[in-house]
């Protein structure tokens, strides 16, 4: 029976295909960026990350049919890593695509030798904070008036010992749950 006709799996979202972002993807990424952030990066920022920053690793996610619906970026500097951005097109949120992208970036960090990972999020962005907390991040500090558009505070979130058994086990349990809730291969 084809997977999409199987009543046990028909209501599950299809997994994204995640690949490395290229310069040709920036136009599609910018459309999601504009729908996701009040202060947006210019296309040149993505281009420079892709072309000039050897510590930067950017990804895009496509749904079947080929549309780019998500992206994310991370810097890995020896044992440290930093999520610089992550976004899902508003029409595709709440279907685990943000989670898939985060998992891809966590693997990138771990494979490149990072032991800890950090990021900033708006204090009001509880959706993003919930996603990160699910993957073991905790709030470690607040940066006052970090966002210049509205003076909002940033929370700094952090997860450590990524290469330790405890974190790897947590990640594989969450990944299994993620795979069970979706259709197809990653
Ligand atoms: C943050 C973002 C990437 C999450 O992506 P998503 O695909 O919508 O989220 P997922 O479906 O993968 O959900 C994963 C987890 O996120 C949290 N989450 C997602 N939607 C949520 C909601 N509406 N309310 C509360 N928590 C939510 C939950 O912890 C969820 O896990 P759970 O369902 O097991 O509780 C997406 O909302 C987005 O693009 N937001 C705008 C850009 C942004 O804020 N980026 C983060 C900058 S720090």
Of 58, 71, 97, 132, which one is the catalytic site residue? 132
> What residues make up the domain containing 133?
3-180
Of 49, 99, 108, 120, which one is the catalytic site residue? 120
CA nearest 18: which of 57, 46, 59?
59
Closest residue by Cα to atom 7, ligand 1, is 98
Is residue 132 part of the annotated active site? The answer reads yes
Q: What is the CATH number of the domain that holds 117?
A: 3.40.630.30
Q: What's the structural domain count of the chain?
A: 1
Given a cut of 50, whether residue 1 has pLDDT beyond it is no
Given a cut of 90, whether residue 57 has pLDDT beyond it is yes
* Partners of residue 72 on adjacent β-strands: 59, 86
pLDDT computed for residue 70 by the predictor? 98
Q: In the structure, which protein residues have their CB atom closer than 6 angstroms to any atom of ligand 1?
A: 36, 86-88, 93-99, 121, 125, 127-128, 130-131, 134
Prediction pTM value: 0.95
Closest residue by Cα to atom 16, ligand 1, is 131
User: 59-96 pLDDT, tens per residue?
Assistant: 999 998 899 999 999 999 999 999 999 999 999 999 99
Round to whole Å and give the CA distance between 77 and 91: 34
All residues at 6 or more sequence positions from 52 whose CB lies less than 8 Å from its CB, including other chains:
none
Q: Is residue 186 part of a domain?
A: no
Round to whole Å and give the CA distance between 107 and 109: 5
159: helix, strand or coil: strand
- Tokens for 151, please give them: 């003076």
pLDDT computed for residue 2 by the predictor? 47
User: 105-122 pLDDT, tens per residue?
Assistant: 999 999 999 999 999 999
- Per the CB < 8 A criterion, the answer to whether 97 and 13 are in contact is yes
**Percent of the chain scoring above 90 in pLDDT:** 88
Q: Is residue 142 part of a domain?
A: yes
Distance, CA 64 to ligand 1 centroid (Å)? 21
Given a cut of 60, whether residue 5 has pLDDT beyond it is no
Distance, CA 169 to ligand 1 centroid (Å)? 22
Q: Is residue 47 part of a domain?
A: yes
CA nearest 103: which of 21, 177, 184?
177
Distance, CA 161 to ligand 1 centroid (Å)? 24
What secondary structure does DSSP assign to 13-69, as a single string?
A: PBPPEEEE--GGGHHHHHHHHHHH-SS---HHHHHHHHHH-TTEEEEEEE-TTS-EE
């Amino acid at each position: 029976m084809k997977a999409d006709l199987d009543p046990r799996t028909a209501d599950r979202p299809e997994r994204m295909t995640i690949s490395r972002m290229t310069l040709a993807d920036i136009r599609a990424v910018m459309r999601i960026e504009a729908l996701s952030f009040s202060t947006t990066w210019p296309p040149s920022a993505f281009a420079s990350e892709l072309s000039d920053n050897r510590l930067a690793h950017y990804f895009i996610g496509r749904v079947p049919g080929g549309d780019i619906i998500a992206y994310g970026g991370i810097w890995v500097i020896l044992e440290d890593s930093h999520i610089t951005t992550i976004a899902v097109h508003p029409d595709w949120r709440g279907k685990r695509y943000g989670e898939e992208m985060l998992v891809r970036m966590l693997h990138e960090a771990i494979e490149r030798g990072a032991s800890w990972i950090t990021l900033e999020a708006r204090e009001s962005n509880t959706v993003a904070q919930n996603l990160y907390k699910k993957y073991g991040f905790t709030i470690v500090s607040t940066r006052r008036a970090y966002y210049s558009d509205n003076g909002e505070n940033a929370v700094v979130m952090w997860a450590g010992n990524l290469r330790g058994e405890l974190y790897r086990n947590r990640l594989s349990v969450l990944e299994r749950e993620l795979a069970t809730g979706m259709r197809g291969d990653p």
